[in-house]
Structure 1
Amino acid sequence: MVELFDPLVLAMVWLSAIAVVGLQEGYAGLLRSFSAWKILLRADPVRDAQLARQALSRVESMLDVKGLQCIDQVQCDSGYVSRAAAYLACERDIGKFSRWASADLDDREMRHNSAIRFWMAVADIAPAIGMVGTIIGLIRLFSDLDDPQNMGGAMALALLTTLYGLILSNLVAAPIAARLLRLSSEELKWQRILTDKLLALARRGEKP
């Protein structure tokens, strides 16, 4: 029976790949990329967009009744709309709000891209790390040609490191990067749409 699970070899390959990419992206990028796990499974851009539209409807109602300065009083389940309404009510300047919203969305996109880039880099480098282990295993194999009892362990090391590198690349890192990319695209899309609608409401609220 071939032993396919070796925790020491698995840790060596996976941690090496993550460490190499961590050196490229820096400590902050490493933390940001692993913090993305919190939203990886529970994020739902469709639900968030629906909550934001409902919040925007309440903001519009408040604007019609009490004016632009009171829209921050709206209770809503959308964190983005709540922050945007609070800023707009405080500043009441469409130009400043437009610049703030643009900078906020750009910063958010940059953070998203940092996490996506990290996991894409892990997917790219993991097979190479596995090949390093394969070469080490082959070196051990050839050095033990006169001792058949040690050849099996060397061959297992050579093959397992390649296997673990491919698993990390194709079954872990690449799917994570793809899902984060899709979540980021969908989230930023509805947030930009909502920002434009808030700007339209603000212009309406400024009219005498």
Structure 2
Amino acid sequence: MDIGTLIGILLGFGLIIGSIILGGSLGAFIDVPSILIVVFGTVAVTFIMFPMGTVFGAIKVMLKAFFAKPPDPKAMIKTIIDLANIARRESLVALEKASVEDPFLKKGVLMVADGTEEQTVRSVLEIEIAFMKQRHQMGQEIFKSMGTMAPAFGMIGTLIGLVNMLQSLDDPSSIGPAMAVALLTTFYGAVLANVVFLPIAKKLEHRSAEEVLFMEIAVEGIISILNGENPRITQDKLEAFLAPALREGSDS
């Protein structure tokens, strides 16, 4: 589980709630009509903007921000070097019996073991990366759109509250609730957008970048094995994808 994501969201809401309590009453910031306008309005527009299945799938995508385990490129490089040594000692065909856990790497290794040409191997793997990025971008786009729509519905709620307030100027008792809707919808929209939707979209974008890097390392490693490159040269090439600190601590 990504503790950082959970801590960030809890800390964000905690600071907001804490400042409200220190400055007044928490109850004054709870208004059901405002919540309905912002939350359900944002969800409704999201269903209009995206296919229903994609929206429901966004829940599963969101879980990646909390529970997805970051890929380990150093472990990937070590696996590739082990495979390269097997290919040099025995043959490319011997890779067919090698134990490879990562499905993407295994797919490439099996293609190499079957004698597939370099151009075909690279093409197939890069197509898979491209479509994976496309799927990830769809999930990110949903949360970015929700981050845009939440403040918009906050503004719609503000207009509704102002209209109700102006129609009730002759009744002082109704001005307060109308003003609450006018202000709290903007507040709810801003909080949801900047504490939940947009940060989750950014975290998903970061997760996708990590996975793409991981897969690109796999592609270069597979091609190096196919071309019969020296394992040490292959390792140096693959470690170039990593930050210097990770390279220094990587396994030889």
TM-score range, shorter chain: 0.7 to 0.9
CA distance 1:19–1:61, change in 2 (3 Å): farther
- What runs of 5+ residues in structure 1 fail to find an aligned partner? none
CA distance in 1 between partners of 2:123 and 2:105 (Å):
16
- What runs of 5+ residues in structure 2 fail to find an aligned partner? 1-24, 230-252
Q: Secondary structure at the match of 1:188?
A: helix
Task: Please state if 1:145 is matched with 2:161.
Answer: no
The residue type paired with residue 101 of structure 1 is L
- Given the alignment, which residue of 204, 209, 213 partners 1:189? 213
Match of 2:135 in 1: 111
Question: Aligned pair count?
Answer: 204
Contact 1:72 1:82 in 2 (8 A): no
CA distance in 2 between partners of 1:8 and 1:51 (Å):
52
Task: Please state if 1:25 is matched with 2:55.
Answer: no
CA distance in 2 between partners of 1:186 and 1:101 (Å):
16
CA distance 1:8–1:20, change in 2 (3 Å): same
Instruction: Write out per-residue CA displacement over residues 24-52 of structure 1, whole angstroms, 9 at most, x where no aligned residue.
Output: 2222432343221221123343x432332
Match of 2:242 in 1: none
CA distance in 1 between partners of 2:99 and 2:47 (Å):
40
Q: Secondary structure at the match of 1:160?
A: helix
CA distance in 1 between partners of 2:80 and 2:44 (Å):
43
CA distance in 2 between partners of 1:73 and 1:12 (Å):
58
- Given the alignment, which residue of 112, 121, 145 partners 1:121? 145
Task: Please state if 1:69 is matched with 2:93.
Answer: yes
Task: Please state if 1:36 is matched with 2:61.
Answer: yes
Deviation at 1:7, TM superposition (A): 4.7
- Given the alignment, which residue of 97, 120, 131 partners 1:96? 120
CA distance in 2 between partners of 1:59 and 1:157 (Å):
63
Q: Which region of structure 1 is more displaced relative to structure 2, 83-92 or 149-158?
A: 83-92
Identity of aligned residues (%): 23
Q: TM-score, normalised by structure 1?
A: 0.86
Deviation at 1:5, TM superposition (A): 2.4
Q: TM-score, normalised by structure 2?
A: 0.72
